Every structure is written in structure tokens, then in C-alpha cells.
Amino acid sequence: MKRAWHWGLLILAPIILAGLSLMVGRAVVPFSAWFDQADPRWAIIFELRAPRTILALLVGAALGLAGAAMQGYTRNPLADPGVLGVSATAAFGAVLTLYFGAAATPWLLPVAAIIGGVVGVILLMMLSGLSGSAITFLLSGVVLQAVAGSAVAFALSLAPNPWATQEIIDWLMGALTDRSYDEVTLAAPFIGAGAAMLLSLRPALNALSLGEASAASLGVNLRRTQAGLALGVGLTVGACVAVTGVISFVGLIAPHILRPLTNGEPGRLLLPSAFGGAILVLAADLLVRLTPAAAEVKLGVALSAIGGPFFLAVLISMRRRMA
């Protein structure tokens, strides 16, 4: 009964937040305007806010799912695509297309971001090792983040003009502002494919919680699982970065909050984390829209302000448990 109540809340919360996202902004649009196409506010809802809301749901779910999969595979609660440099490598792939002016080709930017994300996951696994400690894994992520960040900074310093520099900086901060159905149709297939791949790893992640040797004795193909994780995370994170820029900490926060509801089983955590990520991104996007500042706060900046202290609290908690 308790589990059904939790699932009901996880499903209901995104629906409520999505409705609020359509109604609330600089101008509040009442529910009555949703069904009157003659009302000028109808266009605000379905041409401006609807694609932004759909994208928030997709991106939040993808990042929450990717974070839970990485944490389950590495048995490390600090794993997150944004914190550990995977988003940064995806961003570098996308920045290269912006730098060379190739982003005008619609499919090139997401493909470059996905390739960057896949390479980032592979490098992270190579640097840390499958059974590396939390500190080794965190340091590997710091190294990857620093290298990818330096590469992005180098591209910025050599940008051909100030407009290109500003475009790259604005995009790197992460936002859902002024997104259209084009971004939704661009990201959705890649996110869907990556999510399906990650969800298929549920039995393997549960088996890996017993250790590599036990998982192998249960018939888990470790190389195939690692390849599936790299490609699944690369597809989901790369697609998200391609349409919103870098948004961090979603994949860290959502699994941590929801882990107690799944008895610590990493496979069972995947789907709840997707819902939790969607809730988190929708709530944060509503928050940045309602801030009284003249210019809208970037979503990536807002989530970093929330996620930074959360990451520190998790790290301190882990240190106390190991002491």
C-alpha cells in the first residue's frame, strides 16, 4: 500500500507541475484560455510554454535515469553525468560544432554531443576502474571535468567573433528559454533510445550490487553491460546537452532522494529516478521563471546552486559512515 502511494505521488507530481508550467510565468494564463484559440494567450501556452514543459520533462527524466544507472553500475553514490565530466565532454563535442559554424546542420550538434558523452563515459570508466573507490572515482571525474572544461575554454578563447563567444557561453549555462518543438523532436528520439538501453540493464545492475564475480556467475556479460551503459548515458546526456546546454546535479539528487523507496536495489531505482529528475527540472524551471530579476536566471545556474551544497552534504555523510 505504501509503495503504491509513493508511485502515485511520483506520477502525479510531474502532471501537476506540468500544468503549472503551462499556466505560470511572467504572465499567468488561466485554465479557461487553454481551449479558446481566439484568445491571444492560447499561443503563449501551446507555442512557447508547451515545448519548454515537454523538454523539461524529457531532460529531467533522462538525466535522473542516467545518474541512477551510473550510480548502480559503479556502486558509487557520487556518480552523476554533470559532476563527473560526462556532460562537459558532451558539451565540448557540441561546442566544436558551434565554433566551426556547423550547428546549422540540424543533426550535427546532437551527434557531436552524443559522441562526446560516450567518449566521456568510456574515459571515466578507464580512469577509475569498475571497482575503484569513491575517492578514485571522484578524482577521475574531476580530471575529466578539468580537461573537458579546458578544451571548451580554449575553443572560447579562439572564437572567431564576440557573438560566437556569447552564444557558446549562454548555451553552456544551460536553459530551457525560447525552446521550440524543433528541439523536442531533435532530442526525443535519442533520449528514448538511450533510456530504453539503460532500462534494459536493470537485471545486470541488480546482479552487480553483489560484486563483479557474483554478477558474472549469474550470467551477466560485464563488457556488454559496460558498453550498454556508455552508449545509453551518451545518448541521453548528449541529447540533453545538445538542446539545453549543461545542466548538472539532477542525476545526483534524484537517485539519492528516492533510493530509500527501493530497498537499495539499483535496478528498481532507474524508473523512479526518471520521474524524480522530471519533477526536479520542472520545479527548478518554474522557480527561475518566477524570480523577480529583470533577466531570467539560467536553469543550469539555479540547479548548480541547489546541487553544490547537496553534493557536499552527501560527501560529508559518506565520510562519516566510513570513519
The domains of the chain are located at 53-322
**C-alpha grid cell for residue 43?**
499561443
Contact 288, 299 (CB under 8 A): yes
pLDDT band at 41 (very low <50, low <70, confident <90, very high): confident
- pTM score, two decimals? 0.88
Does CATH place domain 53-322 in 1.10.3470.10?
A: yes
Q: Quickly list H helices, the chain.
A: 2-23, 41-43, 50-74, 86-99, 108-128, 134-157, 162-172, 181-199, 202-208, 212-217, 222-244, 250-258, 266-290, 299-322
pLDDT single digits (tens) 284-314: 999 888 877 667 788 888 888 888 788 778 7
Q: Which of 156, 133, 144, 239 is nearest to 196 (CA)?
A: 239
pLDDT single digits (tens) 135-192: 676 777 788 888 888 888 888 887 777 777 777 787 788 888 888 898 899 899 999 9
